[in-house]
């Protein structure tokens, strides 16, 4: 994406509008997409004996800025972290850390699109 401006007269109001409206403009979509991606990745690598663990991985919204990805299978923590009798088979912890780049990319894309809208607005006059 290439961003150009004609002078700096609108720079301060543009930045004020950008940062004050960004949470509202981004909305829930990037966070929901991130949670769905994490849950999908976990489902694809979760160990399967009966399918119960894999079928109980869920993502859901806690509030406007928080999502959760959980496995409702009561033994999922033991599978992920291992026990003194069994080796860990990480399907949960590995995916949450590997997927953080996806959230950053989704937020950056949405933010860049909104910034381009504001630049167009302030180039033609505030």
Answer yes or no: are the C-beta atoms of 78 and 67 closer than 8 Å: no
pLDDT of residue 115: 79
**Pick from 95, 99, 93: which is nearest to 33 by CA?**
99
Q: Are 59 and 69 contacting, i.e. CB atoms less than 8 angstroms apart? A: yes
Span 17-44, average pLDDT: 79
pLDDT, tens digit, 9 for 90 and up, residues 55-71: 999 998 888 777 888 88
Beta strand ranges found along the chain (DSSP E): 57-63, 66-71
Contact 92, 80 (CB under 8 A): yes
End-to-end CA distance of the chain: 23
Comparing C-alpha atoms, which of 59, 50, 45 is closest to residue 92?
A: 45
Specify the pTM: 0.60
Distance CA 33, CA 30 (A): 5
pLDDT digits (tens, 9 = 90+) for 74-105: 999 999 999 999 999 988 877 765 666 666 67
């Amino acid at each position: 994406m290439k961003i150009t401006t004609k002078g700096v007269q609108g720079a301060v109001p543009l930045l004020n509008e950008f940062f004050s409206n960004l949470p509202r403009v981004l909305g829930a979509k990037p966070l929901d997409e991130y949670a769905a991606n994490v849950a999908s990745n976990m489902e694809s690598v979760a160990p399967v004996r009966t399918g119960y663990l894999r079928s109980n991985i869920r993502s859901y919204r806690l509030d406007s800025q928080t999502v959760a990805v959980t496995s409702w299978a009561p033994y999922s923590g033991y599978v992920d972290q291992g026990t003194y009798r069994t080796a860990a088979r990480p399907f949960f912890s590995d995916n949450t850390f590997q997927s953080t780049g996806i959230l950053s990319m989704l937020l950056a894309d949405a933010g860049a699109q909104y910034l381009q809208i504001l630049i167009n607005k302030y180039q033609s006059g505030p």
